[in-house]
Amino acid sequence: MDAGHRFTRDSRLLNAADYKRVFDDVQAKAGHRHLLLLARPNAAAQHRLGLVIAKKHVRLAVQRNRIKRLTREVFRHLPHTEPTLDVIVLARPGLGDLDNAELSTILRQQWQKLVRHSSRSDKGSQS
């Protein structure tokens, strides 16, 4: 596997404090009927991902694991953009019913929306 496409520890939100920082200071959102992306700029060299796939919204463990695996895979292949972001993906009801192609497409679209929102808020904070 290409080293530039690995999903390393540096690419993850690792503890409750990391998640709390994002939840407490959301600066960009991208929502869809089946999922919500929340983000805030970080000081790291790369984007970091956190996943909240609740059993309440996706009942079967097999589906939760598939969603997490696919989300990490899509995230790994995203282009590096500035500013770097801490991103949390939150599941909403019905997410487990999507097939892999639909989920992948939705994640990419929401990522693009999130990057647009974050670059807008970043420019606004520099003024």
Q: Domain tally for the chain?
A: 1
In-domain check, residue 11: no
**Does the pLDDT of residue 11 top 50, yes or no?**
yes
Structural domain of 112: 26-126
Other beta carbons within 10 angstroms of residue 90's beta carbon come to: 17
**Does the pLDDT of residue 124 top 90, yes or no?**
no
In-domain check, residue 4: no
> Domain with 75 in it: what CATH number?
3.30.230.10
3-state secondary structure 6-50: CCCHHHECCCHHHHHHHHHCCCEEEECCCEEEEEEECCCCCCEEE
| pLDDT tens string 65-95 | 999 999 999 999 988 888 899 999 999 999 9
pLDDT at residue 1, as a whole number: 46
